[in-house]
Structure 1
Amino acid sequence: MDDEARATGLDPARERAFREPGAAIRAARDRGAPLHPRLDSGGHGTDLYGPTYAALDLGTNNCRLLVARATHDGFRVIDAFSRIIRLGEGITASGRLGTPAIERAVEALKICRDKMRNRGVTRARLIATEACRRAENGGEFLTRVRDQVGLDLEVVDRETEARLAATGCTPLIDPQADGAILFDIGGGSSEIVRLGNSEAARHGPPVPDLRDWISLPVGVVTLAERHGGIVVTHGVFEAMIAEVSSHIAPFAAAQRGHDPLRVHLLGTSGTVTTIAGVHLALRRYDRRRVDGSWMDDAEVTGVMQRLLAMSYDERAANPCIGFERADLVLAGCAILEAIRRTFPCARLRIADRGLREGMLVQMMRDDRIWAEGRPQ
């Protein structure tokens, strides 16, 4: 692979379109790809058009990829990948990414690279988050990924994480509410965002009305490593909640005066999707039933009490948890409980979407994919 292609793992001819806003549109037009959809009788675009986009999120716990093409009012995913890699395993104690974790991440990223190549991706954003921000050897890891895998990862700051999550989840805000408290419980950090209710866009998804945000320096991996995740007593659980609450306090003080009954919680993370799956008694996880579902306060409390009463083996045996999450799910519940105690909203909406969807929407907006008239 030559130097020009190394940054993305794509053919050199695709490199400029891969990074540059608008170039992917021009490349698709040159190939004769339709830039605007045909509308069905219902007025909603169902055809795919324009270039092929990819969004990759390398987090502290997961490596996730979405490949998508635009529709009239959003996009349709044509390929996806998700794997728990625990890149940030042990970073709390050592301050470094461990060799086994790096190997797991590299192998997962190779799969993502191949999927992007096979799908003909011409525009992508590839981000890394808290583990790479925090690790002493984060730069060495990024160099290895660039040289061995051919992907050039962008380490984003916490504000970017919050804004991308808001962009990805804004379509799930109840239009009858005054907005939402969005939270994204990650492996190494967690973001909370105060969102107003956005007006529907004429073209494409709604634009988020971001009022305020905070990033907490705690996630499920770091919290479980400090307090333990296999045997979690009520005392340990409360200690986790207290730690998280201390980080939320400054943000909560700035939100005084907002009526929690006029907004709802909007959660995006493995924690909330797991809670929803357990609540729905799914025999296997089903995104179609989870994404966009609602739970009231009593239902969330009931599931968390059930999880806290389970042994590690019982949690691992649950089809919506499994061995990969069994030692992390209660740390996630503690973060969620700290948020619920701070913002006692009556309802929680579950989002099986977030950073990747936010990146896709942002790239498509930058390319004017939903603009009236043919993009230039």
Structure 2
Amino acid sequence: MTRWKEVSGANERTAEMEPIGVIDIGSNSVRLVVYEGAVRAPTPVFNEKVLCGLGRSVASTGSLSSEAVERAMAALARFNVIAHILSVKNLRVIATAAVRDAQNGREFIERGERVLGVSIETLSGEKEARLAAQGIMMGFIDADGIAGDMGGGSLELIDIVQDRLKEAATAPLGGLRLIDSTGNKIERAVDVIDSALANLPWLANGKGRTFYAVGGTWRSLAKMHMDQIHYPLRVMQGYRLSTAEALDLCEQFRKAKKPLDIPGIAGVARARREVLPFGAIVLDRLLRRMQPRQVVFSVFGIREGLIYSLLPPHEKIRDPLISFCEDYAALRSRSVEHAWELCRWTDELFANPEFEETADERRLRYAACLLSDVGWRAHPDYRGEQSVNTIAHAGLGGVDHQGRIFLALSVFHRHEPEDNGEQLSERLRSLVSKRVQRRARIVGAAIRAAHMLSIGMAGIIDQTPLSYENGKLVLTLPRHYAALDGERLRRRFGTLADLIGKKFDIRISG
């Protein structure tokens, strides 16, 4: 299915968006996220959480503790004021396992509704799983695998087959619940976990596929792994490990005499560290039962899934990467129309069978074109470097880490024709193949040459097409733009031709 296309009026759509807020009352934290609007690539404008520990004693006492409830109510009161300050008219509030399972959960909901002045929806385990899956669909293209969302009170699992939701289940395997039910004894947790997972024979459907890991505990494990290998990107979304790598990471908790001795754990928030051993053992037992090919970590979860559920069908089928890049270009570049012209202009460059693209490579090229001018306000000496940092760490969905690096390299080369180890991390380049590096240089050089014609303005390069004739790369200028020809244009166009192994010619038509 074609998921991306040029959409006119991106500036108008961005300006007309109304903020939407989601308060997620979880078993460990209560969080408010306010998004710019309900769109395919939602951008958070505010994000705050309070660790309340609502689910800390539910397994042993059956109730939410009074201390946790008071912390949660104070958080809700603050979030209510923040939502008013940010003019949030559409505020959705959801509660998960701790409130769902507690004897005094109904009392908590009624009190919370009085504080907020809006209704609170207590999610069933199945609906929580479905929202987690829709969060995966928000952040990934053609998601296919089993998603697991581990919170403080429960673990939700759901099978996603090419964006269709299949079997789903909830299990009492949240980090705080396991601490409570096992007396904080990790060795007791193994039998509890295995017993719960044994009731889910459909987990075998995950063999050889992807396991999507959702939730702060598992993201903390990913952060530890990044620290251990000195990974140059500090982005959780789309970070992937082979199943063997993930099992090795989990095994460190079993072998360590003290979890605080494990490399990388110092970088994890102190409040999160107590549940990490239980998160690791749940992931370990799950992966051994499921035997997936890889583990992919997602920052998109039930909150983003809730936004996804509100989208109209035509917005759901949009490519999340292209949607984000178009909106970002509308906000930060001189002309989003010119960015789309670059997509069409470079189509001709890659029309040559020698440079045949996959569908994913084409959408990445389009994304690079859309992002190519977002650094134009920076000082000329630092545009390349700043663009790398901005794009590599942007809140992109629908792209893996190799794709991020391609985008960052492409826009770097749009500003800097040569590699410069001082400005661009060698480690970043080492994470992608020579093919990806070469394509990034070609795309960057093409955009760099195009800007010598257009000066970043729309309506020019559509009149200056590229073509191949007799083995040459030809740029044709209409007579009324003939004076744009000159030394600097020929130097940039010559660099592009050299990169693709062609001679070049600039012609005047009409």
Deviations 1:287-306 (A, max 9, x none): 96111111112221222223
Match among 279, 287, 298 for residue 244 of structure 2? 298
1:226 to 172, 181, 185: 181
Partner of 1:340: 287
Task: Tell me: CA distance 1:144–1:130, structure 2 relative to 1, closer, same or farther (3 Å).
Answer: same
Match of residue 65 from structure 1:
32
Aligned to 2:66: 99
Partner of 2:307: 360
Distance 1:297 1:152 in 2: 41
Following superposition, the deviation at residue 307 of structure 1 comes to: 3.2
Displacement after TM superposition at 1:46 (Å)? 8.7
Report the RMSD for the aligned CA atoms in angstroms: 3.1
Summarize the Cα distance change of 1:167–1:144 in structure 2 as closer, same or farther, 3 Å threshold. same
The equivalent residue for 2:145 is: 180
> Is the partner of 1:51 in helix, strand or coil?
coil
Structure 2 counterpart of 1:124: 91
1:1-20 equivalences in 2 (<5 Å): none
Please identify, of 78-87 and 298-307, the stretch whose mean Cα deviation from structure 2 is larger. Answer: 298-307
Consecutive unaligned residues of structure 1, counting only runs of 5 or more, are 1-35, 199-208
1:320 CA displacement: 3.7
Could you report, residue by residue, the CA deviation over 1:262-301 in whole angstroms, capped at 9, with x for unpaired residues? x1110101222011100000899x9961111111122212
Residue among 216, 235, 259 paired with 1:289: 235
Name the stretch that deviates more: 54-63 or 107-116. 107-116
2:244 partner letter: A
What's the secondary structure of 1:250's corresponding residue? coil
With over 3 angstroms needed to count, the CA separation of the structure-2 counterparts of 1:269 and 1:38, relative to structure 1, is same
Shift of 1:158: 1.0
| 8 Å CA contact 1:282, 1:320 repeated in 2 | no
Kindly provide the CA deviation profile for residues 142-174 of structure 1, in whole angstroms up to 9, marking residues without a partner as x: 222223443432111111101110111124556
Aligned amino acid, residue 250 of structure 1: N
Structure 2 counterpart of 1:139: 106
- In the alignment, is residue 158 of structure 1 matched against residue 129 of structure 2? no
- For residues 115 and 315 of structure 1, the distance between their equivalents in structure 2, rounded to whole angstroms, comes to 38
Distance change >3 Å, CA 53–CA 283, structure 1 → 2: farther
Provide TM-score, normalisation by structure 2.
Answer: 0.56
| Offset of residue 354 of structure 1 | 0.3
> In the TM superposition, what are the counterparts of 1:196-235 in structure 2 within 5 Å?
196-198=161-163, 209-229=164-184, 232=186
* Closer, same or farther: CA 272–37 of 1 in aligned 2, 3 Å: farther
Match of 2:198 in 1: 249
Q: 2:218: which partner in 1?
A: 272
Is 1:53–1:67's contact at 8 Å kept on the other side of the alignment?
Answer: yes
Q: TM-score, normalised by structure 1?
A: 0.74
Matching residue within 46, 50, 57 for 1:83 = 50
* CA–CA separation in structure 2 for the residues paired with 1:159 and 1:169: 15
Say if 1:173 and 1:197, in contact at 8 Å, map to a contact too.
Answer: no
Question: In 2, distance between residues paired with 1:295 and 1:72?
Answer: 30
- Asked if residue 195 in structure 1 is aligned to residue 160 in structure 2, the reply is yes
> CA separation in 2, counterparts of 1:224 and 1:353?
26
Q: What's the % identity of the aligned pairs? A: 23
TM superposition shift of 1:220? 0.7
Matches of 1:276 and 1:371, distance apart in 2: 29
| Unaligned ranges ≥5, structure 2 | 1-6, 319-510
Higher mean alpha-carbon deviation, 310-319 vs 347-356, is at: 310-319
In structure 2, how many angstroms separate the alpha carbons of the residues matched to 1:310 and 1:174? 41
Larger Rg: 2
Q: Distance in 2 between matches of 1:279 and 1:260?
A: 23
Of stretches 303-312 and 128-137 in structure 1, the one that deviates more from structure 2 is 303-312
Alpha-carbon distance in structure 1 between the residues aligned to 2:203 and 2:247 = 24
**Do the aligned partners of residues 65 and 259 (structure 1) sit closer, same or farther apart at CA in structure 2, a change above 3 Å counting?**
closer
1:323 counterpart = 2:294: no
- Give the 5 Å matches for 1:17-36: none
1:322 positional shift: 3.1
Q: Deviations over 1:230-287 (max 9, x none)?
A: x74xxx1xx42331122122322x355x4611x1110101222011100000899x99
Q: Match for 1:290: what amino acid?
A: M
> Which amino acid letter does the alignment assign opposite residue 241 of structure 1?
V
| Aligned CA distance change for structure 1 residues 182 and 317 (closer, same or farther; 3 Å) | closer
Distance 1:300 1:371 in 2: 32
Matches within 5 A, 1:304-315: 304-308=250-254, 309=256, 311-314=258-261
Q: Deviations over 1:296-343 (max 9, x none)?
A: 122212222233415254479934433212221111112111210111
Aligned equivalents of 1:282, 1:148: Cα separation in 2: 44
Structure 1 residues 125 and 99: alpha-carbon distance in aligned structure 2, compared to 1, 3 A threshold: same
1:215 Cα deviation from its structure 2 partner: 0.8
Look up the SS of the partner of 2:180 in the other structure: helix
